Amino acid sequence: MTTPFGTRLRRSMDQHGPLCVGIDPHRALVEAWGLPYDVSGLERFALTCVAAFGGRVAVVKPQSAFFEVFGSRGIAVLERVLRELRDAGTLTILDAKRGDIGSTMAGYAAAYLGAEAVAPADALTVSPYLGYESLRPAIDVAQQHGRGLFVLALTSNPEGASVQHAVAGGRSVAASMVEGATVDNSLARERGELGSVGLVIGATVGDAVERLGLDLVTAATPVLAPGLGTQGGTVAALDRVFGAARPQVLASSSREVLCTGPDVAKLADAARRVADGLRP
């Protein structure tokens, strides 16, 4: 794979609208669909989502935890989901939020993004709170194989600010993540393209982007913005939070779309409505 992830993401957002739909088969949703909360229900839930979203949305984001809870059988379902979405031509972000150092981080990168990965995702969410450079093994693997990363930067959970807004050496922790992404996206920025090292910034973080002085436009970074819909995020909020960087934002919605299931057509229609509403 030679085309960088950021380039492929830009094309997909332009074609389908800047929406990422999550596949979050937690117990309440699975049972609300009238399915048993076991591996068979997990599989039916996940593959229904594949049928509804594959080839129709910019990105699909399976939440790894809800597959991992069923052990190796759940992981097998996740691998099938990733393969079938790839076959449908749909980009995937595996939401696993991995973070470690050295050979362990390299192992995570190989497992999810490497050439020998069983079912590699197009991108992986990662946690940088051992320092941005602790992600270097994953950054290198992603760049080598045309894949991407989304680095946690500003999350909307109440506890996040105590770490992400903290200041050391005159800059916030969140700003250090943006600076790291800026450097790693420099070649893409010179080409006028979107970079492949993205950031996770919640759709409901209020004025934090402006207040912390985060220059997302210069960073040329894609932004994954969870929280759209039932978590309170709106299109107007995205405009306020991200300002001039709004064209770089991939808004993520899970429950707002998934609650319309299990009918495939209704799921697809819901995703289409949300995506159309996000277009400039």
Catalytic machinery residues = 97
Residue 136 zone, left/alpha/beta (φ > 0; ψ -120 to 50; rest): alpha
Give the span between the Cα atoms of 75 and 66, in whole angstroms: 9
Peptide bond into 262 cis (omega under 30): yes
Orientation of helix 235-242 relative to helix 264-278, angle to 10°: 40
Where in the chain does DSSP place strands (E)? 19-23, 59-62, 91-98, 123-126, 148-154, 167-168, 171-172, 197-201, 223-226, 249-253
CA 254, 257, 263 angle in degrees (round to 5)? 125
Give the span between the Cα atoms of 262 and 260, in whole angstroms: 7
Note the Cα 237 to chain centre separation in Å: 19
Helix (H, G, I), strand (E, B) or coil at 196: coil
CA dihedral 80, 86, 92, 97 (to 10 degrees): 50
Strand partners, 228: 233
Cα atoms in the Cβ-side hemisphere of radius 13 Å centred on 18: 20
**Running DSSP on this structure, what letter comes out for residue 230?**
T
